[in-house]
Amino acid sequence: MTNQGPGADTGRPGHIAAVEDRWLLVAVAGALSFVAMLDMNIVNVALADIADGLHVPAGTAQWAALGYQLPVVALLLPVGRWLDGGGARLALCAATGGFALCGALAGLAPWAAWLIAARIGQGACAAVLFVLMPVLVIRAVRPEVRGRAMSVPATLGPLGAVTGPAVGGLLLDHLGWRWVFLVKIPFCLLALVLAWRAMPADGAPRLPDRRSLADALLVGGGLALLLLALTRGSGRPPWVLLAVAAVPPLWWWLRGPGGRAVAGVLRSAGLVRPHGAVLASAAGFAAMHYVVALHLQRDEGVSATATGLTVLAFPLGMGLAGPIGGRLADRYGPRPVAVTGAALTAVGLLLLIPLGDAWSPPDVAWRLTLAGVGMGLGGGPTQALVMGAAPVDRTATVGSTVQVARSLGFTLGPALATAAWSGTGTRAALTLAAGAAALAVPLLALPVRRKPTGPDRTTIPAPP
């Protein structure tokens, strides 16, 4: 196919090049990314209060968090394939409205079963939001400003994850556990109105066929088992065996038509290594966050307030560097900026290792700031690098695979850090976190040969 240029129609249903930049849609994508990632962690600090308020054991209350996380991870890949080809406006508005409704139901839950059911529904809606966020951004702007646009959700999403515990703690202290679910509803409703008014109509998403439903059961079941093994295992054989049980359905799916199609898209577009970089970076970040917070409080005797302020150095650096990374990516290209950001993150985490057993909040804070600057600098360019290489009729699929890699990294990091910590102590856990972050550098830097298949990469998917 010849190069059509940024103003040409691709000839495919639902795909046309962007002529004007819709920054309002980029802001909606960023806000929804923040809210959806906030919900991944904000509930964890409220589990004890939920157990007391609903008069249930702590293990039952834990499903207020797992009930959200399981459908998110399990449905990402199936949702990505279902949403390829159009229907983004209706899907986004339905998922945003469903997310708000389920949040209201969770906040008003009179008993635990009600709460868990609402959280499962909210997780299913969040899976759609996670898939559509990068798709929404890539449809909203021209290629020459894609780095800046991608930096918005790529920065705000992780910021939501990091600030979740702090926001949750404030709500618990002043308003009670139900507001952990209710506080996000006004933002969702505002995003729903803005998205409905700003997005052009592009029809309805195609309904999944029987093959797609079978693929959803296989990949969803396998990923759900793997997530349970990582979050509940803690070295206990009954739970760890779930990781083994996750292999057959995932292998069966990978060898089937659905898995081969997804793998083919990643290979042909040269996206396997960038996906590995996303997973490694997320694992390093999550492991660091887990180890630093726990070590400061448990081993160094630092107060919860001081620990929270220290850990906030990371999102501070990230928030400051995110817009800069986007502008640099638009000027110099996303790959060199993404590599530079990954290297700075790795250096910041590596500098934590020599601290040994004598930590002070200022010593930790400036290192976390450096790592946060690296994460903010490289987050948007990495996302732009991945989505810019995606075939225009497979942007939702690629958006889903990126989110799967990131979600598995967020889950894998603390699990591996716990195992390393149990074996040889804090330094080993930090070494693991820094090593994971450092692995992202060569994965992003090494050149990738793409197979010249699919439509021109300079076009942007959009409604007809």
State the Cα–Cα distance between residues 23 and 155, nearest whole angstrom: 16
Q: What are the DSSP E strand ranges found in 134-230?
A: none
Q: What pLDDT, on a 0 to 100 scale, did the predictor assign at position 10?
A: 36
Q: What topology does CATH give the domain 20-207?
A: Growth Hormone; Chain: A; (1.20.1250)
Average pLDDT of the residues of the chain? 78
- How confident is the model over 394-409, as a mean pLDDT? 83
Local structure of 17: helix, strand or coil: coil
Place of tokens 């726990």: 294
- How confident is the model over 295-314, as a mean pLDDT? 74
Do 361 and 296 meet the contact criterion of CB atoms below 8 Å apart?
yes
More confident call, 385 vs 345 = 345
309-351 pLDDT, tens per residue? 787 888 888 888 888 888 898 888 889 999 999 999 999 999 9
Q: What pLDDT, on a 0 to 100 scale, did the predictor assign at position 356?
A: 64
CA geometry: angle at 132 spanning 128 and 137, to 5°?
160
Q: What pLDDT, on a 0 to 100 scale, did the predictor assign at position 104?
A: 92
Confidence grade of residue 7 (pLDDT, cut at 50, 70, 90): very low
Note whether 20-207 and 270-446 share their fold.
yes
Structure tokens at 103: 């949040």
Do 455 and 1 meet the contact criterion of CB atoms below 8 Å apart?
yes
Whether the CA torsion 70, 76, 78, 83 is positive or negative: it is positive
How far is C-alpha 107 from the chain's CA centre?
24
% of the chain residues with pLDDT over 90:
9
Local structure of 183: helix, strand or coil: coil
Place of tokens 């492991």: 287
Confidence grade of residue 236 (pLDDT, cut at 50, 70, 90): low
More confident call, 39 vs 448 = 39
Q: What pLDDT, on a 0 to 100 scale, did the predictor assign at position 347?
A: 93
211-232 pLDDT, tens per residue? 777 777 887 778 777 777 766 6
Taking phi first (over 0 means left), then psi (-120 to 50 degrees means alpha), and beta for anything else, what does residue 176 get? left
Judged against a pLDDT cut of 80, whether residue 298 lies above it is answered with no
Q: How far is CA 225 from CA 69, 71, 222, 243, 380, in A?
A: 12, 11, 5, 6, 30
Confidence grade of residue 458 (pLDDT, cut at 50, 70, 90): very low
Q: CA nearest 71: which of 124, 114, 116? A: 124
187-207 pLDDT, tens per residue? 888 888 888 887 777 666 666
Structure tokens at 211: 């093959």
Q: What pLDDT, on a 0 to 100 scale, did the predictor assign at position 448?
A: 62
Contacts of 44 by beta carbon, 8 Å cutoff, 6+ apart: 65, 164, 165, 168
Q: What is the pTM of this model?
A: 0.77
Domain borders along the chain are 20-207, 209-255, 270-446
Judged against a pLDDT cut of 50, whether residue 26 lies above it is answered with yes
Judged against a pLDDT cut of 60, whether residue 109 lies above it is answered with yes
State the Cα–Cα distance between residues 450 and 435, nearest whole angstrom: 28
Confidence grade of residue 101 (pLDDT, cut at 50, 70, 90): very high
Structure tokens at 391: 């075939």
State the Cα–Cα distance between residues 84 and 98, nearest whole angstrom: 21
DSSP code for 16: B
In this structure, the number of other CB atoms found within 10 A of the CB of residue 98 comes to 18
DSSP code for 87: -
Judged against a pLDDT cut of 70, whether residue 424 lies above it is answered with no
- How confident is the model over 275-287, as a mean pLDDT? 88
Q: What pLDDT, on a 0 to 100 scale, did the predictor assign at position 155?
A: 80
Classify residue 321 by burial, with Cβ atoms within 10 Å: 0-12, 13-18, 19+.
buried
- Written out in words, the top-level CATH class of the domain with range 270-446 is mainly alpha
